[in-house]
Amino acid sequence: MPQVEAITIDFQSETYKDAYSRINAIVIEGEQEAYDNYIKLGAMLPEQQENLAGLAKMEMSHKRGFQSCGRNLTVTPDMEFAQEFFSSLHQNFKDAATEGKVVTCLLIQSLIIECFAIAAYNIYIPVADDFARKITERVVKDEYMHLNFGEEWLKANFEASKTELETANRQNLPIIWRMLNQVADDAHILGMEKEALVEDFMIAYGEALSNIGFSTRDIMRMSAYGLIA
């Protein structure tokens, strides 16, 4: 009979709350930046502006939800740490937006960051406190819609986007691995293992690349850039 290991986590221990102050901040900052990114994407894709404004609105409500998770545990999020954590990815998005590179912006936000969110939230749900679990379950459903938006747009524009997607993947996938390594210890304290995060991320990202139109061979080659972080 399969055994489910009983997980006992002391959500009020100083160790837990200290790790939570950084992970919670990352999620809050990530949701805020996702909001900003979808607003910017809306300006770059006028025919999708309303759609993207809807996604942005969801990100803002995710941010509020995760702020309430921190308050519920009486944790003060370390926002300075979180801004530093996202700075490379944030800069790359900003540069791409300035250059009008909508494909790169979509790869960063709608593929890479959404897959990161999907992996993190799915791994968090079984080890979250009851309050945070309910919120995260609702949030993760939206993140699949955000990923789907990016997939659909890139699929419809695949031939014209392919080269830019490969370049953007090469530039940004290693950053995700560095970010994962940076939070691995804190994630472990929350009951989330790095191996599981990597696995879920790669499954979601590989599936997304496949849905967009990349071959298995392309996906293998593109995924390998994660390994050289």
List residues binding ligand Y39 (CB under 6 A).
Answer: 23, 26-27, 30-31, 34, 59, 62, 113-114, 116-117, 120, 143, 146, 183, 187, 192, 197
* Distance of alpha carbon 117 from alpha carbon 113, whole angstroms: 6
Tokens linked to 114: 């959404």
Task: Quickly count: other Cβ atoms within 10 Å of residue 128's Cβ.
Answer: 21
Burial grade of 98 (CB within 10 A; 0-12, 13-18, 19 or more)? exposed
Restricting to residues 187-226, which ones interact with Fe ion according to CB under 5 A?
A: none
- Choose among ligand Y39, Fe ion, none what residue 29 binds, the Cβ cut-off being 5 to 8 Å by kind: none
Print the SS3 string covering 54-70: HHHHHHHHHHHHHHHHH
> x/- binding map, residues 22-41, to Fe ion, per CB under 5 A?
---------x--x-------
- Asked whether position 62 contacts Fe ion by CB under 5 A, the answer is yes
Tell me, residue by residue from 113 to 152, as one string, x for binding to Fe ion by CB under 5 A and - for no binding. ------------------------------x--x------
Which region among 53-61, 88-96, 185-193, 212-220 touches Fe ion (by CB under 5 A)?
Answer: 53-61
Residue nearer to ligand Y39 on the CB measure, 183 or 204: 183
Residue 116 binds what, of Fe ion, ligand Y39, none (CB under 5 to 8 Å, by partner type)? ligand Y39
If one counts every other C-beta atom within 10 angstroms of the C-beta of residue 119, the result is: 25
Calpha distance 172→162 (Å, rounded)? 15
- How far apart are alpha carbons 25 and 28 in whole angstroms? 5
